[in-house]
Chains A and B, each alone.
Chain A
Amino acid sequence: MSELVEVNNLTKFYDKKKLALDHMNLTIPRGRIIGLLGPNGSGKTTLIKLINGLLVPTEGEILINGKRPGPESKGCISYLPERTYFQNSMKVSELISFFADFYQDFRPERARQMLANLRISEDARLKTLSKGTKEKVQLIMVMSREAQLYILDEPIAGVDPAARDYILRTIISNYSERSSVLISTHLITDIEQVLDEVVFIRDGRVLLQDSVEHIRESRGKSVDAFFREVFAC
């Protein structure tokens, strides 16, 4: 079986002069939880947007299950952006029916269970919810899909520590042989426990792709400590 995602020689310029990704090569295998780590402006979000088809590459290609980003790949990727992206006037229950209409792999009963666990009412309108609760709703929608690839851009940055634990447990419980999770975050300590692999990015290039276990064994330190060492200012 081919890799889930293949990034070949990917380059992205903004406004023809600002280089965001520089001939990047990367593969995302199946059945792994991968941390996408790098300092601000290293190209993490640009890479994520390109995989999701929200940007067009300047050069190179991205293949998801062997195909370029399009309706088919969007059907098997569940993406959580770093911003609140639902229409504010919608009710939570309307979001559930929206997702159920468009995504075949969406499981409404799972979403309802998670909403109940976090005590979020289905009748609530998004505009009445706090920023943190909105982020929880977004994460619930995204994680209630049985997708092949979950891409989470800063999933725990805006929520309280208790919810953070719940989110991490949710991510682990979604782990399966056929699906992978790609998490971009600065809060390495919090997520290190759930990661199988990490990808370090600097200046639009992949600096390192290795398993967490191997980093700990070969470097004798945690991923967080190693990250601080590599990206020391």
Chain B
Amino acid sequence: MLGKLLKHEWRAVWKVPTLLLGILMLIGLIAGLTFSMPIWDSDWVGLPMSGVMLIMTFFFALSGMNIGITIYLGVRYYKSMFTDEGYLTHTLPVSAREILLSKVITMSAWNLIAVVGIVVSLMLFGGMGLLSLRSALGDFSREVFRALAELPGLLREPEMRGFQSFCASMILMMLLSCFSGTMMLIGAITLGQMVRKHRILGAIGAYFGINAVVQTINTVVLMPLMFGTMNSYRWDMESPFPIFTTFYTAMSLVFVAVAIGLYFLCEYLIKRQLELE
């Protein structure tokens, strides 16, 4: 049944995030292309400000898309679980676990797609922008290839020790944050339902509460780790990457632990405390 739930959840969700991602790509492309237009060669006094405005528009679009998808997924979860649509969701012959898993998987997947979308739109924006440096493009490519050729040797330097692990920890954190971010949203909305008369306010309050708990746990876990590492670290001799890797890995573990805890709490609440109006 989980497969069927996923199929129908995906069908119900895909249109709005796809539209938002499409708009972002378009803005990235247009903004990037604008930089490659000949107008930038003129002496007009407003040009620098226009350039800044263009870059800002793109970054507003980036965060707008991200926030838009998060809000849409949150509203969709709330409506399908706790409003009139919940009457259909909760009378399907499936377990609470399957219902919750279908939501978590779909929302996490869309968070991941949003991250990929951001990276692609940055590449589009940057790539199109680079066209404006057509004359210097040849030199630029040569520089990039030269740097890439030197990279293996550079990574063997003592100052770069642990760079690969650092990159891996960053990517891991990014991937795990798609799941932990989803669980924080789902957790807040589900916990908010316990405040029967003010469910939305309850959800907003729960979101801040969960964030405060995560920050506190992070501080408690990271502080001793940070002081311990700093004391034994020789700043002039060693690479800083292992320190960052340790921090990011610890943070990822905290986020995942909180997300897993929230998952089981939500499952319990949906199974044992469901009160549809």
Contacts and interface: CB of A to CB of B under 8 A. Distances in A.
Contacts of B86: 54, 85
A101 B102 CA distance: 15
A101 B276 CA distance: 24
Interface string B159-193: 00000000000000000000000000000000000
Nearest to A94: B11
A218 to B, nearest CB: 37
Given A55-B275, A74-B94, 16 more contacts: A15-B197, A53-B274, A54-B274, A56-B272, A56-B274, A56-B275, A71-B94, A81-B87, A85-B86, A85-B87, A85-B88, A86-B85, A87-B88, A89-B12, A101-B8, A102-B92
A55 B272 contact: no
B276 to A, nearest CB: 5
Interface in B217-238: none
Contacts of B197: 15
Given A56-B275, A85-B88, A86-B85, A15 B93 contact: no
B156 interface: no
A37 to B, nearest CB: 22
A14 B84 CA distance: 19
A196 to B, nearest CB: 25
A71 B91 contact: no
B196 interface: yes
Contact of A102 (B1, B272, B276): B1
30 contacts: A14-B196, A15-B196, A49-B276, A52-B90, A52-B91, A53-B90, A53-B274, A54-B86, A54-B90, A54-B91, A54-B276, A55-B275, A56-B272, A71-B95, A72-B93, A74-B93, A77-B91, A79-B87, A83-B84, A84-B84, A85-B86, A85-B88, A86-B85, A87-B80, A87-B85, A87-B88, A101-B4, A102-B1, A102-B4, A102-B94
Contact of B92 (A49, A74, A86): A74
Chain B interface bracket (under 10, 10 to 19, 20 to 34, 35 or more): 20 to 34
Interface string A84-100: 11110100001000100
B216 interface: no
Given A15-B196, A49-B276, A87-B12, A54 B93 contact: no
Interface residues of A, number: 27
B161 to A, nearest CB: 54
Nearest to B94: A71
A79 B87 CA distance: 9
B87 A75 contact: no
Q: Which A-B residue pairs are the 5 nearest by beta carbons?
A: A75-B93, A85-B87, A74-B93, A54-B276, A85-B84
Interface in A82-140: 83-87, 89, 94, 98, 101-103
Contacts of A85: 84-88
A53 B91 contact: yes
Given A72-B93, A102-B94, A83 B273 contact: no
Interface string B140-173: 0000000000000000000000000000000000
> Interface SS of chain B: helix, strand, loop or mixed?
loop
Contacts of B7: 101
A162 to B, nearest CB: 27
B111 to A, nearest CB: 22
Contacts of B275: 14, 55-56
B249 to A, nearest CB: 39
Contacts of A84: 84
B244 to A, nearest CB: 45
B137 to A, nearest CB: 46
Contacts of B272: 56
Given A55-B274, A56-B273, A87-B12, A102 B87 contact: no
B91 A98 contact: no
Interface centre among A77, A81, A87, by most chain B C-beta atoms within 10 angstroms, is A87
A83 to B, nearest CB: 5
B95 A54 contact: no
Interface string B81-123: 0001111101111110000000000000000000000000000
A98 B80 CA distance: 15
Contacts of A75: 93
Contacts of A98: 8
A11 B94 CA distance: 26
Nearest to B276: A54
A87 B9 CA distance: 12
Residue from A52, A70, A85 whose CB has the most chain B CB atoms within 10 Å: A85
A102 B95 CA distance: 12
Give the most central of B1, B80, B93, B272: most A CB within 10 Å. B93
